[in-house]
């Protein structure tokens, strides 16, 4: 696929990059949202251009950090059927109340030109439910993307230690798909189709022929965002089943992101400037697509609100009103820095992350070793999770309230 709208081409093969000239181009965002929908689709085909790699070197432990991660994963398995209490009654409207996120911006409720100006308690309550259903649905679809991508890593990575761990992660991802699908079906009465921005990103990750791009797109970008989002939602919800579900999933996700960091550190050390540049470009495109996915056009349409108007308003909202969207990058930015992507090529990715207002997370801990903090046996996890949330909020210059 050709690289378009690209000021400095880094490679001939890879996803079509669209966001450099103006990351906040509403026409670009809405074109993707509206042109890539097939609501009746049950089977989606993506061409996978990668080669399957055998290795005849079976020496386990040649990469000690990956071996340690693999050993940890074998003792950290949980059963979605027996370890979660599915008998808990859930009030769908109270499971994950997200309406305050928008109400933080007074312009949505005080500006007569806002589509939400006349909303009352009924509309805000319904929005909270639909937003929760929509977000959990996108995590469900993203987890299936991770299931496919990790299976691809088993095929394509040339190291036996990485194949061992990736195979273990396939089991994790199947479990994540299972729990999110069951929660949406049994507790929230169903969910939403995949968002177009997320769908295109997953297609590009699977389609790419380079095995390390699967790592970068899924383990660093998609899983990194999910880890931050799950932490935010875990702090927010008081619904016991969802809270425990997120806690279990987070323990896995932290290992998954660490898997990407530990693997790509080695690979990127030997890449050319042009190869690294291409990966910077892909990381930024992935960041834009994940940001744009959280503009949740499908929810606005369900609520009878013009999604284009809300997209414009949200893109121009004050930074203090976009806490959740910015916090999503609290894992991605430090991990990109750890991999050397921020400052390679005269700091091209640093400039792009600065443009979209997330560079302030660069000094937070990367996930290469942080996965231990998320372990299911970690003591005082709730206190530690709150501390991590507050640290990320402080990096943004806000208290996160």
* Dist. CA 199–CA 201, nearest whole Å: 5
Angle among Cα 85, 87, 89 to the nearest 5 degrees reads 115
In a domain, 34, yes or no: no
Short-list 275, 148, 274, CA closest to 206 = 148
The residue count of the chain comes to 401
Range with lowest mean pLDDT among 247-261, 354-368, 369-383: 369-383
Residue 344: inside a domain: yes
The answer to the question of residue 70 being in a domain is yes
Domain of residue 338, CATH code: 1.10.620.20
Q: What is the DSSP string of 79-91?
A: -TTTSS-TT----
pLDDT (mean) for 267-275: 93
Which has the higher per-residue pLDDT, 271 or 395?
271
Contact 261, 242 (CB under 8 A): no
Above 50 in pLDDT, residue 5? no
- Residue 86 above 80 pLDDT? yes
Number of domains in the chain: 1
Note down the domain range covering 99. 57-395
- What value does the mean pLDDT take over residues 78-96? 95
Residue 306 confidence class, pLDDT cut points 50, 70, 90: very high
In whole angstroms, what is the distance from residue 310 CA to residue 56 CA?
Answer: 55
- CA-to-CA distance for 335 and 369, rounded, in angstroms? 11
325 has a pLDDT exceeding 80: no
């Amino acid at each position: 696929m050709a690289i378009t709208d690209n000021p400095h081409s880094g490679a001939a093969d890879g996803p079509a990059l669209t966001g450099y000239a103006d990351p906040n181009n509403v026409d670009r965002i809405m074109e993707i949202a509206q042109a890539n929908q097939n609501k009746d689709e049950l089977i989606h085909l993506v061409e996978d251009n990668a080669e399957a790699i055998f290795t005849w070197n079976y020496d386990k432990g040649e990469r000690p950090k990956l071996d340690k991660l693999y050993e940890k994963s074998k003792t950290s398995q949980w059963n979605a059927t027996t370890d979660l209490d599915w008998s808990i009654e859930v009030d769908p409207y109270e499971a994950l109340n997200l309406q305050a996120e928008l109400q933080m911006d007074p312009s949505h409720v005080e500006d007569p030109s806002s589509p939400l100006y006349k909303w009352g308690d009924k509309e805000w309550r319904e929005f909270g439910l639909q937003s929760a259903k929509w977000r959990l649905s996108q995590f469900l679809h993203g987890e299936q993307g991770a299931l496919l991508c990790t299976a691809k890593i088993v095929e394509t990575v040339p190291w036996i230690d990485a194949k061992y761990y990736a195979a273990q992660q396939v089991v994790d991802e199947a479990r994540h798909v299972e729990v999110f699908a069951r929660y949406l079906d049994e507790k929230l009465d169903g969910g939403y189709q995949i968002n177009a921005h997320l769908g295109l990103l997953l297609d590009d990750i699977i389609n790419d022929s380079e095995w390390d791009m699967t790592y970068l797109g899924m383990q660093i970008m998609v899983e990194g965002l999910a880890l931050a989002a799950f932490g935010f939602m875990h702090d927010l919800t008081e619904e016991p089943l969802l809270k425990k579900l997120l806690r279990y999933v987070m323990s896995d996700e932290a290992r998954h992101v660490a898997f990407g960091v530990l693997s790509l550190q080695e690979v990127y050390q030997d890449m050319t400037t042009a190869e690294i540049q291409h990966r910077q470009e892909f990381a930024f495109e992935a960041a834009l697509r994940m940001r744009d996915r959280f503009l949740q056009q499908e929810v606005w349409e369900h609520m009878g609100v013009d999604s284009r108007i809300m997209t414009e308003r949200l893109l121009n909202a004050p930074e203090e009103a976009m806490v959740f969207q910015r916090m999503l990058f609290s894992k991605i930015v430090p991990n990109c820095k750890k991999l050397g992507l921020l400052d390679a090529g005269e700091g091209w990715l640093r400039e792009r992350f600065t443009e979209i207002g997330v560079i302030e997370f660069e000094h937070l801990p990367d996930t290469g070793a942080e996965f231990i903090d998320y372990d299911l046996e970690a003591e005082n996890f709730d206190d530690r999770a709150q501390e991590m949330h507050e640290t990320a909020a402080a990096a943004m210059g806000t208290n996160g309230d």
